[in-house]
Amino acid sequence: MGRPASWTPWALAVLAGVGQAVSIAAPWNGQALWWLQLLSMALLVALLERQPSGVRAGLLGWLFATCWLGATWWWLFISMHVYGGLAAPLAALSVLLLAAFLGSYYALACWVFWRLGRHTAWTGAVLFAAAWLLAELMRGVFFTGFPWGASGYAHVDGPLSELAPWVGVYGIGFVAAVLAALLALMASGRRAAWRGAMAAPVLLLAIVALPTLEAAQAGGRVSVALLQGNIPQDEKFEGGTGVPLALQWYGRELQQARAALVVAPETAIPLLPHALPEGYMAALADRFARGEQAALVGLPLGSFEQGYTNSVIGLRPDAPAYRFDKHHLVPFGEFIPPLFRWFTDLMNIPLGDFNRGGIGQASFEWQGQRFAPNICYEDLFGEELGARFADPAQSPTVFVNMSNIGWFGDTVAIDQHLHISRMRALEFARPVVRATNTGATAIIDHRGVVTHRLAPHTRGVLVGEVEGRQGLTPFARWVSAWGLAPLWAWGLMIVAAAALIRARSPRL
């Protein structure tokens, strides 16, 4: 047989990267495909093994990651071009450059694997996983972090989901990388790789068999009404169309709902308080000042002179108004990074420079539950949500995600975000209720199962019950105390050990 064409590894890297993106949420049904994630990563490792130099391995890893990331959140193009008004070529280039920049972390991981761990079977698989873990952490932390589509999210429905309450989504990504690397090395026919592959399921079963904390019921069930206004994004902040529609529809549904807790999504009320019609907020406050109902409502607070926040207010009888301010802001959409004012000026995005709220803000206490709001993509950052578990007596019993991803149209972004919330439910053994503008409005139980869901891009009210939970998972305990430091230490320790062994080994 002749040698494969020189372009073959690059084409396969593109194919594997796109496969990795599809595994997070398949475009045809929104489901996570854990087996596809393992196969696509195994193909990457097999390609790395066959490269003649570390530079080529790094470039292949960069191409894989750029295609994976770009194909995962290509819908950023919609927010910048369709709704932000940025020229299509510049919007497409922006998505590509972001994917290429973040892909450089994985290029480094692949170079490290080639230099230190290829051809070493079981230990090489662990080294690849450690380097991959560090790349995932860098993407999730540096430059405000954008970990959307991390490889662990493909396993929200797979056998590795059992690890979520122990090691979280990044730990799942590490184990998946070990298994994928072993799969690739097995294909090489090495006996050591086969021995390692036989040991991996035994280790995995041992971890899963450990006694997982079963969170106890906390205060029974609470009925919820989750509002999905489906206000068109191109009209949402327009004074003659979307604004009056939002004020009228959400105002009416908040007045008429009969559930114990009513939740309206992020910026459901799209105006700062001083710009609202006279008496609007007073009528809402009066509605929930008596009786046995409460509400969480998304709206901006503050003023252009003193600054404003992307916030949630809580209204309940016989108690002061509650307030939560979004902490983890979206670059360009909610704050302007240094030196990038020129870029945001090219887009038509209202309220583009918010102030930050603090980490670990108090929960909204109602009917024996502690409802912990987070806004939009804040639920990507499990380590930040984990700060709320530092005091077990005050830890949340229910997470409440309030989002507006109408910016991204009718795309797979809706299903991807739903899987993110499901992973948080698994990590903390907490139910998650989601109230969104266009989807996915849903109720997720503490096992990560979607029990109720509205069809996306419809206007309606999702009514159901949620059962709050209490008690701390192992993940909640360590992430609330140390954040992601244990994972950083684990990855760095493995890479450092491999480098030391390499340095002491005879040169090949």
What residues are labeled active site?
266, 326, 376
Measured distance CA(69)–CA(99) in Å, rounded: 5
CA–CA–CA angle 149, 375, 91 (5° rounding): 55
Report the 3 state secondary structure along 316-361: CCCCCCEEEECCCCCECCCECCCCCHHHHHCCCCCCCCCCCCCCCC
* Closest to 77 (Cα-Cα) out of 65, 89, 66: 89
* CA proximity to 43, closest of 187, 226, 196, 221: 187
* 81 Cα distance to chain centroid: 23
| Distance in angstroms (rounded) separating the CA atoms of residues 58 and 479 | 31
Q: How far, in Å, CA of 506 to CA of 508, rounded?
A: 6
Nearest to 464 by CA among 260, 307, 173, 325: 260
Write down how long the chain is: 508
Please name the residue that has the structure tokens 């510049």.
90
DSSP assignment letter at 83? I
Structure-token pair, residue 29? 């049904």
Separation between Cα atoms, residue 430 and residue 165, nearest integer Å: 10
| 389: three-class secondary structure by DSSP | helix
In one letter, which amino acid is 393?
A: A
CA pair distance 179, 184, nearest whole angstrom: 9
Whether residue 440 is preceded by a cis peptide bond, meaning omega within 30 degrees of 0, is yes
| Dist CA 331 CA 344 (whole Å) | 10
- At 86, the amino acid letter reads L
Residue 421: name the closest of 437, 436, 406, 438 by CA. 436
- CA gap 7, 266 in Å, rounded: 47
**C-alpha pair distances (Å), 306 with each of 15, 60, 313, 355, 397:** 50, 49, 19, 10, 34
Beta bridge partners of 53: none
In whole angstroms, what is the distance from residue 149 CA to residue 23 CA?
9
Query: Contact, 23 vs 34, CB < 8 A?
Result: yes
